């Protein structure tokens, strides 16, 4: 995760419509990088489950993205944090149960 990732997630979390385009993100007061860089970071965040692409360069934040901002998700280990410990993700638990 980079500082830009955090700022992208924060912007989307605070936005009332809960979605934004790459252009809108790059023009925000807290994000001072090019459209290309924002696009790359949004793609990476979507790959990791923090954002959902809605098409045409528009993204929305996911539950994982919100949990990360609240300190309830460990991005490095890709797992939810439970009582100060990193725990399995829902996907890990489903895989273990054959879902």
pLDDT in tens, 21-67: 999 999 998 898 999 999 999 999 999 999 999 999 999 999 999 99
> Predicted confidence band at 97 (pLDDT cuts at 50, 70, 90)?
very low
Distances in Å between the Cα of 39 and the Cα atoms of 4, 44, 76, 88 are: 11, 9, 21, 29
Structural domains present in the chain:
3-96 (1.10.10.10)
> Predicted confidence band at 17 (pLDDT cuts at 50, 70, 90)?
confident
Instruction: Using the structure block, give the residue that is written with the tokens 């990193």.
Output: 86
pLDDT given at position 95: 45
């Amino acid at each position: 995760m980079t500082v830009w990732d955090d700022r992208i997630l924060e912007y989307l979390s605070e936005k009332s419509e809960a979605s934004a385009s790459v252009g809108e993100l790059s023009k925000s007061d807290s994000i001072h990088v090019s459209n290309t860089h924002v696009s790359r970071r949004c793609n990476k965040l979507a790959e990791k489950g923090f954002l959902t692409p809605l098409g045409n360069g528009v993204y929305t934040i996911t539950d994982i993205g919100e949990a990360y901002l609240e300190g309830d998700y460990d991005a490095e280990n890709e797992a939810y944090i439970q009582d100060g410990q990193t725990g399995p993700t829902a996907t890990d638990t489903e895989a273990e149960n054959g879902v």
